Structure 1
Amino acid sequence: MMDVQDAAKPCAGGSFASTAGSMVVLQKRRDFLAAARAKRHSMPGCLIQARRRHEDETGGSELRVGFTCSKKVGNAVARNRAKRRLRELARSVLIGKGKPGWDYVLIGRAEVTATRPYAQMQAELAHALDRLHPSAASPQT
């Protein structure tokens, strides 16, 4: 029987598995820098950067995600708490709404990411992804 703690552990190779799909965690600085030059959407709880990978880049059609929190967020305990919340947001929202072949970077905000209500952050991230990936049927605002 799988324990709740076992389900939250990353799979081999730095990826998170889910019934809906999988995410690979960004670890290379060049991937974070490439995402920083791409689309972004600001939310009260965090900032998201998103970029479509080129066909010749590694990663294939997987959804890749990175997490970062600067020292402005707080000490190591506060930064780790904020990154844990961002990882859980990615598991719950990005797997369903993110697009394969894209890189996403979630950036924590000082004193907000660790304390903002989780349900509110989920709704904000879902809205941000809708803004980053508008459907063809709905006009852009």
Structure 2
Amino acid sequence: MNPIVQSSPLHLSENQGKWVGYIIRRERQRRSMTQTFLAAELGFGMSAISSIEAGNAYANIVRTMRLLQKLEIAPGLSIEAIMAQQSIHAMLNRAPQTRVKPTVLIRPASFQPRFSYLPVVADKAFDMPDQAL
């Protein structure tokens, strides 16, 4: 693969194509539309819709863009959301898999908090900060 294309922030991986397909499928289902209905509306075969939803969104980018437009999905925002999602997954996968045991602090009944370490900012309880000086 061309290293310039690979390092470009606009390069879309196969995984991102699957995310686009997932977004399209979820929106289609949310709108109670069938693949057959969308294919008829857009003038291409149902297999094209199925292929895009299966993750082959970049096999025919023109059809994918028409499908996004029909479902009123902003392509730019979708790509940004997908890239953010991938960044989160990458960070989670790099994080060490450790379990943190919760610490429970038990305060004895005789505990009396002491506030002598706090600076005095007012002489009376209801003094305003600007009046205390």
Q: TM-score, normalised by structure 1?
A: 0.25
CA radius of gyration, larger in: 2
Say which structure is richer in helix: 2
Say which structure is richer in strand: 1
